[in-house]
Amino acid sequence: MDELFSEVFKESEIFANREVLSQHHIPQTLLFREKQIDAIVKVLTPSLRGERGRNLFLYGKTGTGKTSCMLNIIGKIKELPISKSRISYINCRIYNSRYRVFYKLMSDHLPMYAKRGHGITEIYERLINWVEEDGKILIVVLDEVDMVKDLDDMIYTLTRSNSDIKSGGVTIVGISNNISFKDELDPRSLSTLYENELVFPPYNSNELSAILKDRAAAGFKEGRIDQEAINLAAAIAARESGDARLALKIISVAGELAESKKAKSVTAEDVSQAAKSAEEDIAYELLNTLPEHEKLVIYAVAILTMQGSKYKRLIEGTDTYIFSGEVYSRYASLAQSMEKEFKTTRWYRKCIIDLEMQGIVSTYESGKGIRGHTKLIKLVYPADKIKATVEKSLFKEEMV
């Protein structure tokens, strides 16, 4: 075998199953989410029986188990011997318009008709007829639902379909990191929603430690990672945001570091070294999941940080902070330059709170030394990297 590829087929001394450590792996049992799973199943029970049920919205910060819980439940629903429902999971980062959502539904359930050229009206009517054939309930799971560009139209069409369906119905499960996204819906869309809401809390350090220990038992070879390293990774992730994805990323990267230096096991030192790059990777992944206008706000903060605030010398020690009013003005200017209507100041205040909750920015309330009372904003990660990441994501979307 060529020496160039000798390492490719060499058995790992550290990992037993890397996939188990991936954020995309869905365990059979999700620790510390039993209550949430029970609550979801309870809401969906009428739909599974073939009755019209209530819609459900799941909220929570990134890495709190929303998607994992829902995919775990979907897997179990598909194993049911008898069910009067059909279910579709739709990633709205990919299927980010009403047409694409309905096309995905057609592909899942009526693949013989799923070809380009059908208009939204024809797709809609075929799906309605399919539901009515035997009075089934179609459960539509919309992950990152706030990423849909024509969200009002999509929500309105899905919910109003129950008025057109004579036998059967449609149930919506929406998943979002942003608990206030519905505030931006048109009143006509809101009026058709009749839903339950479930908020997923961040994991604490002890919970993350138990989750990592469970995954590490299958992901690493025996004795290759010690409890001290696991506890440190859990503590770092809990301190940042309670994000299980971050915790898993840290121990996975730490394992790769240990493997690269041919160490016998993963140590706390490896975890410390892995934490910084893992945190940045997760942060940049998170940026790509943000709605367009939140990206524009972050972009405005990054630009102003690199240029320097007009008021940066007013308070000692706050030179890396930017005035909230400056950020809003720059955001509004950016939106207008892209021929988009900028959001209200009320929305903007909620946006900053949400971005701080997700660990992308930190804020500081001005006090003595500044005229009036205002909020100062600071990026948690390097401004140049944030700017480049948002540009790749935001302006790529503009070209689509």
Classify residue 21: in a domain, yes or no. Answer: no
Task: Look at residue 319 in the predicted model and tell me its pLDDT.
Answer: 56
Distance CA 78, CA 201 (A): 27
- What is the side-by-side strand order in the sheet with 169-176? 85-91, 137-143, 169-176, 55-60, 195-200
Amino acid, single-letter form, for residue 246: L
Q: Which of 169, 200, 231 is the last residue of a domain?
A: 200
Task: Look at residue 370 in the predicted model and tell me its pLDDT.
Answer: 53
Task: Look at residue 8 in the predicted model and tell me its pLDDT.
Answer: 63
Task: Look at residue 314 in the predicted model and tell me its pLDDT.
Answer: 47
Task: Look at residue 310 in the predicted model and tell me its pLDDT.
Answer: 62
Indicate whether 67 and 149 sit together in one domain. yes
Indicate whether 297 and 262 sit together in one domain. no
Distance CA 232, CA 263 (A): 19
Task: Look at residue 399 in the predicted model and tell me its pLDDT.
Answer: 44
Indicate whether 168 and 76 sit together in one domain. yes
The span from the first CA to the last CA of the chain, in angstroms, equals 44
Does residue 374 contact residue 366 with C-beta atoms inside 8 Å? yes
Task: Look at residue 240 in the predicted model and tell me its pLDDT.
Answer: 74
DSSP β-bridge partners for residue 196: 56
Q: Is 95 left (phi over 0), alpha (psi -120 to 50) or beta?
A: beta
Residues 6+ apart with CB under 8 A from 295: 287, 390, 393, 394
Question: pLDDT digits over 261-280, tens only?
Answer: 999 999 999 999 999 888 78
Q: Which of 288, 323, 340 is the last residue of a domain?
A: 288
Question: pLDDT digits over 8-48, tens only?
Answer: 667 899 999 999 999 899 999 999 999 999 999 999 999 99
Distance CA 91, CA 342 (A): 26
Classify residue 17: in a domain, yes or no. Answer: no
Which two structure tokens, joined as six digits, stand for 128? Answer: 């309605």
Task: Look at residue 400 in the predicted model and tell me its pLDDT.
Answer: 44
The DSSP 8-state label assigned to residue 265 in this structure reads S
Domain count for the chain, please give it. 3
Indicate whether 316 and 359 sit together in one domain. yes
Classify residue 341: in a domain, yes or no. Answer: yes
Q: What is the 3-state secondary structure (H, E, C) of 22-46?
A: CCCCCCCCCCCCHHHHHHHHHHHHH
Task: Look at residue 287 in the predicted model and tell me its pLDDT.
Answer: 87
Classify residue 26: in a domain, yes or no. Answer: no
Strand pairing class (322-323; 375-379): antiparallel
Indicate whether 114 and 173 sit together in one domain. yes
Indicate whether 47 and 186 sit together in one domain. yes
Classify residue 391: in a domain, yes or no. Answer: yes
Per the structure, the complete domain to which residue 297 belongs is given by 291-399
User: Which residues in the chain land under pLDDT 50?
Assistant: 1, 313-316, 318, 399-400
Classify residue 20: in a domain, yes or no. Answer: no
**CATH number, domain containing residue 123:** 3.40.50.300
Q: Which of 288, 318, 345 is the last residue of a domain?
A: 288
Indicate whether 50 and 181 sit together in one domain. yes
